[in-house]
Structure 1
């Protein structure tokens, strides 16, 4: 295509991210055009409410309330799907791809739920799908895995993928404050949504983990095939106990591939990390991802994982890649075009998912309790590594904290069920994994 080529861009969704993309692309367009070698034209934007006042000024003639008019417009080359949700976003995405367009998306839930269909549609109709902004905001983790580390197989990827949870956990530790108080403050500051469940229950991180698992291993893992646990039961006491043991606590996504067994596991849960671990020291709303490759070893990526500017940066990076693809006919769009007839790895059964564990029990303060707990654990061949006993906030109760030697998920879940049935255990146990990743 000629050097004077103009690439027309349509944005579907002008929320926080969409406005950021429009703002920064407008401000930096001349420099981007020099780098990419084409003219970039923000042609149209679709919004829900045409009358709404926005921070970014956009000519009325460029606004529409019909996203499909952008997806179907033959003059628009790149469609940015920034709608959110999965229903309308899926329909707009598939419509654009069926016309052979390039779609840029920041929608991790859409990719997690419909990624296979989207990639298949793109291949069938000659469209392309870019999604750097869907995971870890401004951190170029997707480009790192699909391009910079393409020579590698990945036995382990783990990290912090949700800034809201990381902010809450950081504040709980720093202020010795209960979860509910810190959550309320996070909502006041705009770090947490009014309905915080998607973040704090681990589902947002799980959606992102699904994207990374597919990138690294070519298999779509549904959230109901993962271990997904949130942070709402963590207390300031857990941070004190972890500190005594030499650990911090982070909500992590952990993607592990056992190449000998050809098994993959994807988990999201609060994890004790050694205090010297770099990711254990990533605080506030920042994200961080550790990627271990069989050729390069371990590399680490950290930065702002959310917010208008960080996410807009990733979207614009994909727009630049898409424009380069249109001009030169090559680029990162080749991702995922492997032979799908080759079997992918299977999911690891619970008995093959192994780690050490931290277990906190609220128990009756009476003789013989520890012996009964130890007996249940021994029944499932779980070996106790350490014991911490503290007073409980409840009268006549004690807090019993155990760490284990390496065990597995099946044994641990069976143990939890039997511990709950003990009359001397007063509350559901709190179970955290210990991340010995080094």
Structure 2
């Protein structure tokens, strides 16, 4: 894949040629002449590293470009841009670090790699004189990373929150629309290719947590580990939860929330199924779409919606980074990236993870309890003992024999108190199943 322009061609290597890699090759080929004309710089994909060189793929690549050695692509002195599209955190990490040690530009869509090894990756870029571009690592085709590092650079970000996983959003949308169970819709999502055979990374919240870590770093200059977040998935949601949300004008979304208190330096990052008021646009982002809301102190609130995954959306973001890389190599000043952004890096100083006692909010709590006198009083005593005030109580029939479903909402409380309450309720003889706890969003943005 070559094109004509007035400057020497910039050489690009792809490491990984799955769904995303093939999309990048296909779309970059279709638009190569147009892009070269706009950039006044030629570029070419000169190597494609794959796991299986014999495998038949939907996109045809000249045999001379195919390699089974990703590390050879990363270390080839003639290749200036290395696109890591393999996934995983072992070989991918080695390839990225090897490329950066040689001063290359790395383009990656690998959110797990950045979440787990981001500090090491950016340190390697600084030491080797390379650069890292990673637009495709969060929210697919939505240019949220460019928005944070370029368009909104004048802002400090009090809150960033959003739907960052299309699989979970698809499941929740269909649960609400069709009244079907989580298990039924998950099976459909697997058949349609929206969920992996092992769905745990998506539905247990870890994919969203990896993306939240990247956004937190971009906004606040600190890598937040997943064990410093509160991470919960959607497996235990039922039609009881969906019905309550609908009745009281909410929708349930798996939300990543990044909150910063600039007075104390506290930073709180969480991933949880959340009751989102219907008045918010984000509550109406459905199916496989993602949505991210950014609250800046200068611009106010901005909202970004688009496809969060899939070949074309992700390829669009990767190609955007390739164009930035070509622009940088052709002599233009490239966009700010984290290791070059003094305002962002400085923002990381003094940032500390918020104590659960300082994280405030309202909550929804669903309990399966024994259907007998005095149970509500026992539940109320546990909550009062932890200084959690009940705002409302509903009792519904339970699918469990001789049991009832209690649905409670709370007034404002802190995360420490509500977690202590849940622990107390779990140990109560009146509660016969794991409590389901959801935050109630009250964004006034």
**TM-based fold match above 0.5:** yes
Are 1:430 and 2:436 matched, yes or no? Answer: yes
Aligned length: 437
CA distance in 2, matches of 1:423, 1:385: 24
- The structural deviation recorded for 1:365 is 1.5
TM alignment of 1:319-398, pairs within 5 A: 319-338=322-341, 343-398=349-404
CA distance in 2, matches of 1:394, 1:90: 48
Are 1:168 and 2:174 matched, yes or no? Answer: no
CA distance in 1, matches of 2:362, 2:6: 58
* TM-score calculated relative to the size of structure 2: 0.96
Contact 2:133 2:337 in 1 (8 A): no
2:423 to 385, 393, 417: 417
- The structural deviation recorded for 1:89 is 0.4
Are 1:135 and 2:138 matched, yes or no? Answer: yes
- The structural deviation recorded for 1:242 is 1.1
2:112 to 109, 112, 128: 109
CA distance in 2, matches of 1:96, 1:369: 62
Contact 1:129 1:333 in 2 (8 A): no
CA distance in 1, matches of 2:230, 2:400: 31
- The structural deviation recorded for 1:12 is 0.2
CA distance in 2, matches of 1:273, 1:68: 45
TM alignment of 1:278-297, pairs within 5 A: 278-297=281-300
1:210 to 191, 210, 213: 213
After TM superposition, the structure 1 stretch with the greater mean CA deviation from structure 2, 284-293 or 32-41, is 32-41
Aligned to 2:271: 268
* TM-score calculated relative to the size of structure 1: 0.98
Gaps of 5+ in 2: none
- The structural deviation recorded for 1:329 is 4.2
Are 1:32 and 2:35 matched, yes or no? Answer: yes
CA offset digits 1:283-333 (Å, max 9, x no partner)? 100000000000000000000000000000000000000000011241124
After TM superposition, the structure 1 stretch with the greater mean CA deviation from structure 2, 138-147 or 362-371, is 362-371
Query: Any idea what SS the aligned residue of 2:340 has?
Result: coil
After TM superposition, the structure 1 stretch with the greater mean CA deviation from structure 2, 309-318 or 236-245, is 236-245
CA distance in 2, matches of 1:296, 1:125: 36
Query: Any idea what SS the aligned residue of 1:145 has?
Result: helix
- The structural deviation recorded for 1:335 is 3.0
- The structural deviation recorded for 1:336 is 3.2
Query: Any idea what SS the aligned residue of 1:401 has?
Result: strand
TM alignment of 1:186-197, pairs within 5 A: 186-197=189-200
Aligned to 1:87: 90
CA-based RMSD of the aligned residues comes to 1.2
TM alignment of 1:38-187, pairs within 5 A: 38-187=41-190
Query: Any idea what SS the aligned residue of 1:208 has?
Result: helix
Query: Any idea what SS the aligned residue of 2:52 has?
Result: coil
- The structural deviation recorded for 1:69 is 1.2
- The structural deviation recorded for 1:75 is 1.1
